[in-house]
A = this chain, B = another copy of it.
Amino acid sequence: MSSGVAARPAARARKAHGERTRQSILERAVDLASAEGLEGLTIGRLASEMKMSKSGLFAHFGSKEELQLATVDAAREVFIREVVRPAFETKEGLLRLWKLCDIWLGYVRDGVFRGGCFFAAAASEFDSRPGPVRDRIAEIMKEWLAVLRRAVMDAQAEGQLEQSVDPSQLAFEFNALELGANWAFQLYGDRQAFARARDAILERLRRHATKSGASVLASPSKGKKGRVTASK
C-alpha cells in the first residue's frame, strides 16, 4: 500500500492473477447470493461451484462478512452498469427520469440477477440484522433513491415537471412501484406487473408534466403494446 511496489508492468502482471480470480469469484457470488440470499451464500458451496477448495477461496476474503461486503459492492457495480449508466446516456430531464424507471424494470424482467433485484432481496434479508453489511446495503439503496430524487429535481429545473411536486415523495412512490413489480414477478412470475408499474409511473409523470414536459413524454406512450422498452 505505502511503497509504490514498483510501477513495473511485469510486477503488476504477477499480482493480476489473484485479483482476477477474486473478481470471478465475486461474479459467481453475486449470482448465488441474488438467488439464495447473502447468508445462504455459503463458502463451501461457492468454492465447489468455482472448483476451488474452501480454504483457497476463503483466503481471498478473510471472513464471511468480508465476502458479503465484497459481494454487495460487486452487485452495486453491476447495477450501475446495467441501470444507472444507460439511463444517464439520456440528457437530464423528464426523459432521463423515465428511463431510470423503465430500465430498472427491464433489469429485473431480464434477470440481470437470478433472484430479481439484488438489493431488494438483500435489504429484506438484513433489515433486522445490524452490522456493516446491513449498513452498506442501506447506503446503496439510499444512493438509488437519491438518483431518482435528483432526476426529479433536474426535470423540474428543465421546466418539464411542475415545481409543486415533492421530489422525495415522487422518488418514494416510484421506488415502491418498482419494488412492487419485483415482488410480483419473483413470487408469481407475473410479467404483467411490469406493465402495471410502468403505467402507474407514466401516469404520474404525465399528470405533473408541464407542457414542454408532455411533448418529451409523447413517444414512449405511443409504443404499441405495453412492453417495457429494452435498454438497447
Contacts and interface: CB of A to CB of B under 8 A. Distances in A.
Contact of A188 (B114, B138, B177): B138
A193 B172 contact: yes
A101 B123 CA distance: 23
A219 B95 CA distance: 38
Contacts of A184: 172
Interface string A163-184: 0000011001101110111011
A2 interface: no
A16 interface: no
Contacts of A120: 124, 183
Interface stretch (A44-52, A61-69, A74-82, A195-203): A195-203
Instruction: Assign chain A's interface to a size class.
Output: 35 or more
A176 B181 contact: yes
Interface string A114-157: 11100011011101110000000110011000000000000000
A36 interface: yes
B128 A183 contact: no
27 contacts: A36-B128, A36-B129, A37-B125, A39-B40, A114-B128, A115-B127, A120-B124, A120-B183, A121-B124, A121-B127, A124-B124, A124-B125, A125-B125, A127-B187, A128-B186, A138-B187, A138-B188, A141-B187, A169-B196, A169-B199, A169-B200, A172-B200, A176-B176, A176-B179, A177-B180, A179-B179, A180-B180
3 closest Cβ pairs, A-B complex: A176-B180, A124-B124, A127-B186
Interface of A: 35-37, 39-40, 114-116, 120-121, 123-125, 127-129, 137-138, 141-142, 168-169, 172-173, 175-177, 179-181, 183-184, 186-188, 193, 196-197, 199-200
